[in-house]
Structure 1
Amino acid sequence: MDNKRWKRGERGPFQGIMEQMDAFFNESAKNFNSLIKRPLAVRTRETEDNVIVEAELPGYRRDQIQLEIFGNQLRIFVEDHSNTDEEGYSHQSERTVTLPFAISEKETEAKLNNGILQVTIPKNNSSRKFISIHDTTDL
């Protein structure tokens, strides 16, 4: 049996195997990350008349963004297809914002400016009904 000790920087018998294992796991992690839907950074603020939803979408173009309304929910979905290598990859992200009232498709406006998507949703929806509350504690 050879008792040779490997000095720092020298290539040992398992160095090639370790390099191949590292390459395998790094490539697998890259492929796995491309399959994951990542949540978007979204802020919601309220004015007297509107709810404003802002999503940070740096680098995305208009044709990569989808907005969907489902009753009282706004779904923001983005997908980036890139063909920088032979296989290509796709990154997807989405976020759903739920409001306490139905969202009007006709009155809702969206604009994309410098990587910030801003969706303005009016609060004065004609289908909203409020119920008055009578305080009976003093009776």
Structure 2
Amino acid sequence: MLSFNDRSLSSWLKSFEDLVDKGFIQYKQIMENLSFMVETDETPDTYIIQAHLQDYRMKDIQLEVFDQAVRIVAQRNETTQLENALNKTRQTASQVKRIERVIPLPFRVRQEDLRATFGDGVLKIAIPKKALPNYIDIEIEDEQ
């Protein structure tokens, strides 16, 4: 039968805690490579989204509008060259880096209402707060 004394249990718990902490750090690093920072703000008339995409150019960015959300996709090609000075060889590797975020909105939005600008690595999206009614037409029931 396996038994734990206070010291071995404490040591095991510390090791487990360290393992969990390392997992969270690695998860955060992975998520930072798959996503980007987004800030939202609003004025009485406008909802503003700012997406920080410093490593991307305007042509790398796409916007998609859903009923109550905006999706930002940024994609670019990365090429890395490794050179070995000893045997004078060169190795080139290419990969596509793609990141995206879906930003939910507190109201319905139409594509034609969005205004987007890009400068200094920041994508700014302005959406006017138009009251889009969600009324349902009521029909007269046929009496029999």
Structure 2 distance, partners of 1:37, 1:94, is 10
Q: Does 1:128 align with 2:133?
A: yes
1:37: Cα distance to partner?
6.2
Q: Does 1:63 align with 2:59?
A: yes
Unaligned runs of 5+ in 1: 1-32, 131-139
Give the match for residue 18 of structure 2: none
Give the match for residue 38 of structure 1: 34
AA aligned to 2:123 is L
TM-score, structure 2 length as denominator? 0.60
Q: Deviations over 1:13-33 (max 9, x none)?
A: xxxxxxxxxxxxxxxxxxxx9
Give the match for residue 14 of structure 2: none
Structure 1 or 2: larger helix share? Answer: 2
TM-score, structure 1 length as denominator? 0.62
Aligned partner of 1:53 among 49, 52, 65: 49
Aligned residues: 96
Aligned partner of 2:78 among 74, 82, 92: 82
Structure 1 distance, partners of 2:98, 2:62, is 11
RMSD of the TM alignment (CA)?
2.3
Q: Does 1:119 align with 2:125?
A: yes
Unaligned runs of 5+ in 2: 1-28, 82-91, 136-144
**Secondary structure in structure 2 of the residue aligned to 1:97:** strand
Q: Does the 8 Å CA contact 1:68/1:75 hold for their aligned counterparts?
A: yes
AA aligned to 1:98 is P
Structure 1 runs (4+) deviating above 3 angstroms are none
Structure 2 distance, partners of 1:114, 1:123, is 26
**Secondary structure in structure 1 of the residue aligned to 2:34:** strand
Structure 2 distance, partners of 1:98, 1:109, is 17
